[in-house]
Structure 1
Amino acid sequence: MDDLPPPLLLDILSRLTDSADLARCRLISKTFNTLSREVRSINLVCTFSRYLKLRSPETKDVTTPFKTIFNNLILNSLALESISISVEKSLGGMSYDDVEDEADDLYLTDVGFVNEWLPRVCRELRSLSISDFWIQSCWRRSDILALLSSCCHSLCELEVKNAWLSINGLNPMPMLTSLTLESVRLDDEDLSKVNHCFPCLQVLNLIGVGGLTEPKIQLFHLRKCQWTVSNAPQSLTIFAPKLVKLELNCIEPRSLVLETPLLSDFYLSLRKANKFEVKGFLDLKILQLESADLCGLIYSFPSNNSIKRLIVDSSKRVKPGDMSMLSLDMLFEVFPNVSSLTLRSGAWCEMETCFVAGGFQSHTGMQGLKEFVAQLVIRDIDVTLLFIFTILDNCTNLSDVALLIHCEVDPKIASNFISRCTADRPRVRWRWGIWNTGSIDTWTSDSI
């Protein structure tokens, strides 16, 4: 390979997904060693197998420490723009009983460790991702944010996972436009400092950030946000006048306040919101709702004529006689202009049970429905067929129907179901697929 043109060799080295391979290449060729210095991105992962070698009495003395490998990569690089350092996800499932010492060899947000290599690369660094080893980091509070803010003046993207972070000494970082904090411990006052020191954030991901009681996001330039709240805070507030896409997953906040007038794509998952306060959705086009109290959530939602695509799911167990079950009447009463409707499995079961109990009445809003998608668990083929045909009879402009049958449904029942659908409604464009809990929908054919 030494005979290949240097630009091509550099391109090959730059495409290595694990920089441990880059370190190995440096050892086997002078050409590789020289060109590897020009690679602008490092992605180093401590695998589970390496972790075991570092802990085994037979191999630990002959295995290069993970931090040493990383420091050597940094030392020999000239112009790094992107750095990602992490432990393999499988290590995240380890318990404290699996650890025999209080080592810090994989404590990656350790300021002492970061300060060894950061000054060499901070000037050109645009993207940084650190996924720490939780067992070593959760009881050590890190001041890494202050260190980053003091020297990384060109940093645009920052991701920190599995750490206990301090905001002491944090300085404003006006160049930062994307921030991801996952499985991180913070306090309310820390989140307030984040709002102040990262004023130009356009993308914010808070996933499993603990320690917050009444968190508030107040970012004027934010356009995309994913917020997964692991605890049960009293209230959640988002003030983001330019926010376009929001994914919010929480338990049961006492109040939920959204001041996001430009929101167009909204995913909301929660058990129940006692106070749902929204100051105007002017351009909401896509809405996805998931709740154990789906009816209560829908009725607490402001009636909106702009929503075109609606996706709903229920996480409660359907019981016969329950009067708070989801129905098509309810959906089209609140969201009259929906043209695409998707019912996940929980919502489908709830709606089918409601139909058996009392059917539903035709609604003028149903005439706008053009696309219908549903995840089915066929318990009674005649009931499911009757429900689907009733939907088609009431939604006269509906021509595109995608039905996904659960993978555990008997193939003979599924085949019979498909044949009867296509025979009874030959003009409908049927699409068929299978689904399984926790998996992505898998389509088997576009038409039959």
Structure 2
Amino acid sequence: MENLLESLALEILSRLDDSETVACCRMASKTFNSVFPGLQFINLQWRLKWYLESRSRVSNSPNCSNLHQNSSRFTPSLKRVFLNLVSNLSALESVRIGVENPPLDVLNADVEDDGDDLHITDEGFVKEWLPRVSGALKLLSLSDFWVQSSRRRSEVLSLISAHCQNLIELELKNAWLAVQNMNAMPMLTSLTLELIRLDDKNLTEFNTCFPNLQVLNLIDVRGLKMPMIHLLNLKTCHWTVTDSPSYICIIAPNLLTLRLECRSPYAIYIEAPLCYNLHLALEHLNGFAVKRFQKLKNVQLECSNIRSLIRKLHRLETVETLTLDIRAGGNSKFNLEVLFCTFPNITSLCFKPRVWSEFEVWCGDIGLKGVKRFCGYLSVIDPLMTFALVDCVLEECFNCVEISLLIHRGVPSNVSKHFITKCMAQWPDLKWGWGIWEEGREDSWIPEEQLPKTLVEEGSDSI
């Protein structure tokens, strides 16, 4: 290891994922340690177990009246470790620093104290290192410890915008952010805010300071009242609205992909004529207005009342791929006539699991003749009823040549095998695809030639 060329050793360190692994390499090799100052990234992720173990040792020690002051005697401070790393690196292009947050089932009492040792969006801490590394910095990611940061408003956005004029990608998580005294960041093209309390109710400062964003992720951003995204260069947007603002507006003339998730806004307005992919997920919607979609091809709808949402979309003739999902507790009967009126030219149709329970047989004279591919997620609780629904879809989508059905992993193998055999015998000319689905897991597909063997040998653990 000590005979490695320094250039090769630096290349090896540069390919590692995190600073913890880099530290192990430095301890194991003088060569790695000597080339470390040339490294261009820091990725320091503080594990929750380290914090909990430290608290446990402090609480069990004598004279532990001040938990925050005593904890440093047992575990090195995240901030001290990070500042030491920064002081040894000369040309940082990427900084990622984060704290693992407790899962939802852990009570705040198990992790909460009055300390700020893990409050990494604290402007006092950021001032210690950001000005020195900001010149070459292109990526910055700060994922705070919500237990400490949720009660402390941070002006870190002002600091970042003042020092990081060459920053391209910014990610901030688990923090309460002020927006006063922010400067414009014209170089920034990618922004992610996740689990953020933002003091910008209408996103006024937001639109002014990030004019050239191309990728935007607003995941669980709170404190919004009548938010409007108005970004001329935006191409991809994922917006999860946790609050229930009365009005949501998106004006993005170059937007290609939009995923919008919200509860029950009173009205949504979208002006994105070039949008190609649209995913809407919401509980209920009163008003929906769109300045005409000119190029929309792929649509996924998830709603408690899917019929009502489809009718609000009016006629979308350019859409080719449609996926429908109904939220838990939803109740909205619909049939293919509803789809035909709104999406007359779809070629690919997908039903998620809950859609089947609300699907009604339609006895119209004109089916969805353009549909060539159909995909369905099945629970097969009642095999006869499920078969009848599949039969209905194929009768009305009479030009369908390719059908893919995914059966829930929990369905007994003998039920699945009987259902599959019956479908393939009923429609032998179709191209079949079979798979397995389960909540929280990736879909798994089974090649047709392997299907009988898989069913017999793997049993209920397969399908």
User: Normalised by the shorter chain, which TM-score bucket?
Assistant: over 0.9
SS state at 1:360 partner: coil
Q: Partner of 1:108: helix, strand, or coil? A: coil
State the distance in 1 between where 2:105 and 2:214 align.
Answer: 32
Aligned to 1:390: 392
Distance 1:2 1:298, change over 3 A: same
Counterpart of 2:32 in structure 1 is 32
Q: 2:272 — aligned with what? A: 260
Report the Cα distance in structure 1 between the residues aligned to 2:112 and 2:276, rounded to whole angstroms: 50
Structure 2 gaps of 5+ residues are: 62-70, 452-463
| 1:5 aligned onto 2:5 | yes
Offset from partner CA, 1:21-68 (integer Å, 9 cap, x none) = 223433443321221111112111001222134322368524321111
Alignment of 1:172-251 (within 5 A): 172-189=184-201, 191-251=203-263
1:327 to 322, 335, 338: 335
Distance 1:362 1:379, change over 3 A: farther
Q: Secondary structure at the match of 1:109?
A: coil
Q: 1:413 aligns with which of 415, 423, 438?
A: 415
CA distance in 2, matches of 1:349, 1:252: 23
Letter in 1 for 2:363: F
Whole-angstrom CA distance in 1 between matches of 2:105 and 2:25: 32
Q: Alpha-carbon deviations, 1:184-233, whole Å to 9, x = none?
A: 01134572101001101111111111111111111111111010000111
Alignment-derived partner of residue 360 in structure 1: 363
The 1:429–1:73 alpha-carbon spacing in structure 2 relative to 1, beyond 3 Å, is: same
Q: What residue number does 1:399 align with?
A: 401
Deviation at 1:432, TM superposition (A): 0.7
Residue 315 (str. 1) matches residue 323 (str. 2): no
Q: 1:80 to 1:346 in 2, by over 3 A?
A: same
The change in CA–CA distance for 1:190 and 1:172 in structure 2 (over 3 A counts) is farther
Deviation, 1:103, is: 0.3
Q: Does structure 2 retain, via aligned residues, the 8 Å contact 1:327–1:360?
A: no
Q: CA RMSD in A?
A: 1.8
Matched, 1:169 2:177: no
1:232-271 Cα offsets, whole Å, 9 max, x none, are 1101000111111000000111110001111110000111
Shift of 1:7: 2.4
Asked if structure 1 preserves the Cα contact closer than 8 Å seen for 2:253 and 2:274, the reply is: yes
* Count of matched residue positions in the alignment of Structure 1 and Structure 2: 438
AA partner of residue 29 (structure 1): S
Give 1:100 deviation, angstroms. Answer: 5.3
CA distance in 1, matches of 2:140, 2:448: 43
Q: Equivalent residue for 2:430? A: 428
Q: Secondary structure at the match of 2:369?
A: helix
Partner letter of residue 21 of structure 1? T
2:171 to 135, 159, 162: 159
Q: What is aligned with 1:369? A: 371
Q: Which segment is superposed worse, 25-34 or 203-212? A: 25-34
> Which one of the candidate residues 335, 347, 355 is aligned to 2:355?
347
In structure 2, relative to structure 1, the CA distance for the partners of 1:386 and 1:190 (3 Å cut) is closer
SS of corresponding position for 2:33: helix
> Matches of 1:117 and 1:268 in 2, distance apart?
41
Contact between 1:224 and 1:244, CA under 8 Å: does it hold in 2? yes
- Aligned-residue sequence identity (percent) comes to 42
- Partner SS state of residue 368, structure 1: coil
Contact 2:321 2:347 in 1 (8 A): yes
1:146 to 148, 153, 158: 158
1:152 shift after superposition: 0.6
Where does residue 304 of structure 1 map in the other structure? Answer: 316
Query: What CA distance in whole angstroms lies between the structure 2 residues aligned with 1:238 and 1:441?
Result: 32
